[in-house]
Amino acid sequence: MSPLPQSLPATDPTQNPPLSEVAAALAPYIHTRAETLRIRRLLSAHLAASLTHEESTDGETPITHLTLGAPPSTLVVKRTPKELQGGGDARVRAAYLSALQSHAVAKKRYQALRDEIEELRQSQVVDSASRDVNRGDGAAEEYIQLVKLRRRVERTKVVDKAVERVCDARLVEGGAGGIGKRRTGVRETDREGDVVMDGGISRSAEGRGRGGRGRGGRGRGGGINTERLQREVLKHVGDGARPPSMRNITPDRQSSLVELQVTGWLNSKASSNDDRGVSSLITFLERHATKRSALFRQRGGKAATGSRIKRSRVEGDTLHIFVLQQEYESYSRLNNFVFAGKSITVTCENPPRSRSPHNSGTSPEPANEVQQLIQDLLSRRFDYSSKLLSLNALGTDEQLQEIGMFKTPETQSKFFLATMKVCSAQFQTAEEKRETIQSVSLADNNLPNLSIVTSLAQTFPDLKNLDLSGNKIENTSALGAWRHKFRHLEQLLLNNNPIEKLQPGWEVEVMKWFPKLRLLNGIQVRTDAQLAQMDQSKAIPLVQAPDFRDEGGIVQNLLLKFFTAFDSDRPALANMYYDNDCSFSLNVNTHALRDKDAQEMLKQSWDPYIRISRNLKHLNNPKVRTNRKITGPEEITKTWAQIPATRHPALTSEFHKWVIECASQPGVPDPTGTYPQGVTGFMVTVHGEYEEPIPSRQDRTMRRSFDRTFVLGPGGPLKVRILSDILTVRAYGGSAAFRLGLPVAAPIIAPVVAPAAMTPVTEQDLMVLELAKITGLTLEVAKQCLETSNWNLHTAMGTFETHKATLPPTAFA
């Protein structure tokens, strides 16, 4: 829209004859200054007529062609210009314009809605301020709101039910009234939301005193007082509002109550009490149920909270008790218990479905009955203080015998597997399991081998003490299933097994299987010092200094130049050491172990490498295999250009980051053809690291580790060429493996030059290389030449020219 310059000065080159055609073509678009101004005015007037600010134009920016470069958001198109109401193109433009208008309207609505949502969200954030909510994520917040609403609904249901039941119970006992008030109380609680809910828990805890436990009013006259009812209600609210655990988001059946019926207590010795012995019966039931469920509740040093009866009522000779669903099993086991001289019957009309919160829905669960039996067994057989699970003499367990669990090996095996499963389900983490159960006894089970109990190793892999005494194990092969299992086993008992007599020396073998074993049949088989030493030697088997067999510093000189040049000038390097007989290939080990302390843990992108990676383990296409073996300096240069920039640590000052080994290698090609069988070269293996820029983050680098193998042979401008070059790049793995080897002296067979012993590369070295390169002298002779020339390269060149004719052929490389 901006007008073109009215005219160009006469001196302007465009006005010169060669470009007159251009000037002529542009003429219709070139206007005088006055014309331009008029056009501008017209434009402004047109725009002002067509556009308007949404609200009053007071104080708004005037609409001109200048201000429309960045139109304000309030701007709207007032009308569709008349000239666009024709046909053809104009109609399209009109349509576009109206679409634009609709778009503007939609955008405005969108903005308004967003503002509204934002406002709502803000208020909700305030509402949930007591929770530690990550506010950054809108989706998560919405989800949390949803979950909260669901919970609130559940809670309301619980409260409703509770109110109903409380009322029923009170009405049965002859109380009346107060319902209206109670309802009010409930509603208030609900409206106040989470904060009050949490308060509800603490208040319900207060209410756990004798008075507040749902049977408190009994025997003291049943007048209904609102406060107590409220407390009653709050208690249920508290139960409903208990924060769900991580793996169980919805407040489900765990928090609902189960009703059991207790009969047979009517004429007990306690029946002469005021309440016919009901309160002592309840205490009795609670005490025993707590014992039944106490097994794993005690873990972590926490005292058992107890299996409380939430509510109760008496109807004739039946005591109805209401307990949390998860307590159901503890109570149902009290069937046939003897209370004050009378055997009581505990029944349930609607038993809850089997409870196994840790099992996934798909895995087959042991039958309910068996599961109860197992839980019962575990609670009887686990000793929390000694962290010992005694599964000894299971065959003589009366309860197990009753259901025929030990009739056949199949049922035994199934039973044991189920037991292990139930055990596992008690723990949420492996750590918890490890801490809670450290010892298992399988003594006196007549086990001839481990086929029945083999799953113990999977269930308790970190066991410290294991008792297998009093079984029928005859030899170590009967124990084979646990060979190399129980990596932390410290004590093993195999007393009173036939193996002791039948397989002399069995101890030695068993010892080998369990690396941490200290006590075998009560006899110390390893001392702490031995264990410590074993740990060390297992961790790093014999890391030693490198084996480096160079001759005349050939390899050393090459390496000193090589990595510096690889970092700075790859094309030059390729032309220096590689010719058309030389090959390079690279592969990436994406599985390599990483140095966990290094920041490089985070980011590993291999893109530039993967394109050229030649890992024969995965690369099966023969054509690709061939293509990715790069031959000749030109191709090598091209390939190297694809490798990200590198910076290797200096070989001389940071030698601890390197391991370089070198061995002689006969049969390498002789470029002169003198020796068709080849001559002796070197095979060099290099392990080290380099820094590489991180593409997305300027001036940041990441480290990588590499392994590189060269085969060196004679040839090329420097008389040494790299015939083969295989490079493996992997995630940074640190240099700890190399460092640990340093204090150990290398056994000397041939002259050994460790990288540590490499002389720093000096100017003199470079001069020697340079002179050798120019003259073709061996490095040795070139050095002598420079020495006699007082380390002046120019003088040395003169010296060489002077003595060239008299030098023996051996002086040349």
- Interface with other proteins (CB under 8 A): 484, 487, 512, 515, 534, 537-547, 581, 583, 585-593, 595-596, 614-617, 622, 625, 629, 659, 661, 663, 665-670, 676-678, 683, 685, 687, 705, 707, 709, 711, 723-724, 726, 728, 730, 733-734, 736-738, 740-741, 746-747, 749
175, 224 in Cβ contact below 8 A? yes
User: Around Cβ 35, how many Cβ atoms within 10 Å?
Assistant: 12
- Kindly state the smallest distance separating residue 677's Cβ from other proteins, in Å: 6
Minimum distance of other proteins from residue 811's CB (angstroms): 27
The rounded distance, in Å, linking the Cα atoms of 270 and 254 is: 33
* Minimum distance from residue 788 beta carbon to other proteins (Å): 39
Integer CA distances (angstroms), 105 to 91, 108, 268, 345, 591, in order: 21, 5, 83, 75, 55
Distance (Å, whole) CA 704 – CA 383 = 52
Residue with tokens 């709101």: 145
Min dist. Cβ of residue 657 to other proteins (A): 12
Q: From the CB of 670, what's the least distance to other proteins, in Å?
A: 8
**Cβ of residue 535: shortest distance to other proteins, in angstroms?**
9
At 100, which amino acid appears? L
CB nearer other proteins, residue 231 or residue 708 = 708
Instruction: CB nearer to other proteins: give 439 or 583.
Output: 583
Q: Which helix (H) or strand (E) holds 625?
A: helix 622-627
SS3 content of the chain, % helix, strand, coil (to 5): 45, 15, 40
Sheet strands side by side (includes 519-520)? 382-383, 388-390, 439-441, 465-467, 491-493, 519-520, 523-524
Given the complex with other proteins, which of 27 and 744 has the nearer CB atom? 744
**CA-wise closest residue to 517 among 509, 508, 525:** 525
Closer residue to other proteins, CB minimum distance, 630 or 785: 630
Residues whose CB falls within 8 Å of the CB of residue 683, separated by 6 or more in sequence, listed in order = 662, 663, 664, 665, 709, 710, 711, 712
Of 327 and 689, the one with the shorter C-beta distance to other proteins is 689
Task: Pick the closer one to other proteins by CB: 489 or 781.
Answer: 489
Give the H or E element holding residue 202: helix 194-206
CB of 629 to other proteins, least distance (A): 6
| Closest CB 691 distance from other proteins, rounded Å | 18
Please say which residue, 389 or 586, places its beta carbon nearer to other proteins.
586
Q: How far is the CB of 419 from other proteins (least distance, A)?
A: 27
The neighbouring-strand residues paired with 388 are 383, 439
d(CA 252, CA 250): 5
**Which CB atom, from 105 or from 540, has the smaller least distance to other proteins?**
540
Joined together, the tokens standing for residue 248 give: 């169980």
Q: Which is nearer to other proteins, 634 or 707 (CB)?
A: 707
Nearer to other proteins, 131 or 512 (CB): 512
The neighbour count for residue 100, using CB atoms within 10 Å, is: 12
- The CA distances from residue 743 to 78, 226, 543, 738, 740, in Å, are 87, 82, 10, 10, 7
Minimum distance from CB of 589 to other proteins (Å)?
5
